[in-house]
Structure 1
Amino acid sequence: MKTLITRMTLFGVMVLAGCSTNHFPEPKSMEPMVEFWERVYSEWNENQAVYHDNRYLSVIYDVVPVPNQDRRDFLRANENILREELVDMVARYQNKEKLTRNQRHWVKLLKKAGGEAAIYGAPERLRYQTGLKNNFRKGLEISGRYLPEFKAIMKRHNVPEEIAYLPHVESSFQGRAYSHVGAAGMWQFMPSTARDYMPMQRNVIDGRLDPFMAAEGAARYLGAANQRTQAWPLALTGYNHGVGGMVRAKNQLGTDDIGKIVWQYQGDRFGFASRNFYAEFLAAKRIADNSDSYFPGLHPQKPRKVDAITLNAPIKVRDLANALMISEIDLIELNPAWLKNIQINQAAIPSNIPVWLPKGTAKRMPQDIGRVYDKR
């Protein structure tokens, strides 16, 4: 566990480092939110649950160990007990009755965070969050394989390189991550959005599962989002909430200040996840930029080494592997966007997508099959 002094020192380093760019400001009003997610990512592990106020994230009621079995039942039961204590706290405070020791502490935190009014809605705002320390550490190590190319992709699309850190928030750099609402891949695109930004064909190809195809899609999506919002914090929040929603927030409040929007905007779908998305990104960026200070002894994966080609015409995996004198398994492993029908040679690899090959393989590719992939 880091001391507060350590966290404040690292924050100072990040503020100074951030002076060279205005793309992702860190509003003072959001610092409690950023610090909360910083602790979720670097201090609390997956077997700890943090019970907190869902609006005033500096208000933390308890941190409890979570058993491996019946986790959800345990978390909800604990939540119900704590909510009853908060209901009792509000009643006692309202009636000027004596508070328990815990209740006195909670009242102090709530008043400091949101004034006396914050006390009265506390039971309804109770939420729990499990830690992500181990997952984030693994993500930092995995990211070594991807970040150099991700940053190059962002630069090529005139998008801030820091957006390469977004998979820390979305998936902890897990290429096969799936959400309960249907988002998939390291960059967590929904199918409907992905169709506009990367190759998608049912049972044939899913560009969301290729981290590099999806990174290209994310760069294009966020570049377009920034054109509409004219503010990178709003564009980034739009990645979660929808760009149209952020344009409405900007127009309704008459500001593009994300620090004001997260506190004042009352859109129907602008809930906890959307309101905290930018803070999560800032926390992830802060840690990734100072990873050795947060996680000493990291062993980052090495960047991948591949050749990239584009096919002149569709071709099946078997035929491409034979032409290049490599195994089908190696080809399939390097190209995670290929779905079952390609893998079992029922469908051909499309000609309009990049194909990744083992390094040094492209030089023996017959000219009638393909050409070097042009990344522009």
Structure 2
Amino acid sequence: MHARFLDTGVRALSLLSFCLVSLSWPALAGTELPTPPQAEAPATAEPIPEDAQPSIQEPEYSLDEEDHATAAELEAVEPPAPIASEPSTEVPPAEALLQLKPLNGTTARFTDLLTPPAEVAQEEAAAQGQESEEATAYNVPIVLDPSVQGHIRFFNVSIRNRFEQWLIRLSHYRPLVDSIFSEFQLPSDLIYLSLVESGFNPHAYSRARAAGPWQFMKGTAKVYGLRVDSYVDERRDPVKSTVAAARYLRDLYDLFGTWPLAMAAYNAGEGKVMRALHTAQAESFTDIAKTRLIRRETKEYVPRFMAATIIAKNPDRYGFPQNDVQPHQFEEVVVKRPIHFKAIANVTGISYQELKVLNPELRRDATPPDDAEYHLKVPVGTRAKVEQLLDRAPTHKFAPLPIPVRVRHVKPEPESGHWYRVRVGDSLEKIAKRFNISVKTLKSNNNLTGPTIRAGSRLVIAN
């Protein structure tokens, strides 16, 4: 007993001594804690415990068969850019962005020495009504929790080359998207939603049959004015699909009042998010993300957007090069009859692949047959030439579209006079009288021992 109390006292004295030394250390040292040099920054992030480390589900983007060649041609037309083969070891990971603050006499905990990243400081400053560079760095809510950090590693390490291609392609279309979002008074950072949707690939096609850079489903696309038929799919048009996405995002924000909920609804549908909020009696995306009321894909969608935004707005920090990419520009020519891209290329000398890149919405590489006028996009500076030589191009004749055959599966009915379906109110006597047979024969044909029959059952009338 005495030994136990003595051991407890020794432990208490040791702990008290350690605390006193920790509190007096800044005064005794008299100097600030030196910041480690950049070269000594860790090359990789410290692993998060398994229970805290999110399981990243890679978004799947696929191309339908008719678009495999088009996607390759798209990459061939865009200016080449160097692709990093592996992450730069000189760029610290997200956890290394915490910087040490100078020591002072009030420092009592090691965590007091750490300056939170801008992503976390932004929310704190916004809550306190403070205005600073950190608070205005992002115009949509951004946090840096373990889930977002996991997606940052996923983009920065697991699919680094692919994500770099996404950034390059987005730079090609960015001036166009910025002008449209500005017209609809949307936060400019919402442009990075297209990174997690498709990498801004006009030919992206998902297994759920969503298409285009903003991954519209056919029904939603038509609601927002996009044409989708056998000849034209405006979900692939970078201009028209971006206008539709801006209208849809604005409507979702007006409905839910916060961007995380609006983005979740963009992924899952406003009905599912509204039902989840109502069932959970919740008011935020964070609340419903803790439940099973929304799918895992939607739970990861908002953190994935935040991770893509952090990297895209800080490419130097993560070692992604910033290359000068030619913006998406074009002129329009009014075409009044169906003409194939190859015919236009033959008479004008414009590249066939370039016409395909500028007009990804034309599914059959030709202007549609039933349009009195179609605005065909051509390279800048070639409009006059195309208008002058367009009459020399032959009219394109489309192959007839296959007629969809609807197979109606009809359950075969028994031959008349051999079978009979029992109706309500029927009896063996009535059925026997109707078909001019005896009750004994009817019971024998159907192996019946009693007078009871059920409505809906079938009776053999004659063998």
TM over 0.5: yes
Deviation at 1:363, TM superposition (A): 5.5
When residues 358 and 312 of structure 1 are mapped into structure 2, their CA distance, relative to the original with a 3 A threshold, is closer
How far apart, CA to CA, are the structure 2 residues paired with 1:18 and 1:353?
47
Secondary structure at 1:141's aligned position in 2? Answer: helix
- Separation (CA, whole Å) in 1 of partners of 2:169 and 2:210: 20
Q: Is 1:31 paired with 2:31?
A: no
Residue of structure 2 equivalent to 1:336: 360
User: Deviation string for 1:9-52 (max 9, x for gaps)?
Assistant: 6972343656238852235xx7111111111111x32xxxxxxx
Q: Distance in 1 between matches of 2:371 and 2:180?
A: 22
The 5-angstrom pairing of residues 155-194 of structure 1 reads: 155-194=182-221
Q: Which protein shows a greater Rg?
A: 2
Residues 1-376 of structure 1 correspond to what in structure 2 (within 5 A)?
1=44, 2-8=92-98, 12-14=117-119, 15=122, 19-20=135-136, 24-26=140-142, 31-42=145-156, 44-45=157-158, 132-263=159-290, 265-267=291-293, 270-308=294-332, 311=334, 316-317=339-340, 321=344, 325=348, 327=350, 329=352, 330-340=354-364, 343-344=365-366, 347-348=368-369, 350=371, 355-362=376-383
For residues 286 and 353 of structure 1, do their structure 2 counterparts lie closer, same or farther at Cα, with a shift above 3 Å needed? farther
Give the secondary-structure state (helix, strand or coil) at the position aligned to 1:260.
helix
- Taking only aligned residues, the RMSD between alpha carbons, in angstroms, comes to 3.4
C-alpha contact 2:205 2:211 (8 A) present in aligned 1: yes
SS in 1 for 2:117: helix
Higher RCO structure (Cα 8 Å, ≥6 apart): 1
TM superposition score normalised by structure 2: 0.51
Measured at CA, do residues 252 and 352 of structure 1 come closer, stay the same or move farther in structure 2, by a change above 3 Å?
Answer: farther
8 A contact 2:228–2:235 mirrored in 1? no
Unaligned runs of 5+ in 2: 1-43, 45-91, 100-114, 123-131, 391-463
Mapped contact 2:230–2:363 kept (Cα < 8 A): yes
Q: Secondary structure, in 3 states, of the residue corresponding to 2:240? A: helix
Which amino acid is 2:380 matched to? K
Q: More deviation in 250-259 or 225-234?
A: 250-259
Q: Distance in 2 between matches of 1:314 and 1:275?
A: 48
The percent identity for this pair of structures is: 25
Q: Once the 2 structures are TM-superposed, how far is the Cα of residue 191 of structure 1 from its aligned partner?
A: 2.0
After superposition, the C-alpha distances for 1:55-89 in whole angstroms (9 at most, x for unaligned) are xxxxxxxxxxxxxxxxxxxxxxxxxxxxxxxxxxx
- Tell me the equivalent position of 1:125: none
CA contact 2:231–2:362 (8 Å) conserved in 1: yes
TM-score (ref. length: structure 1): 0.62
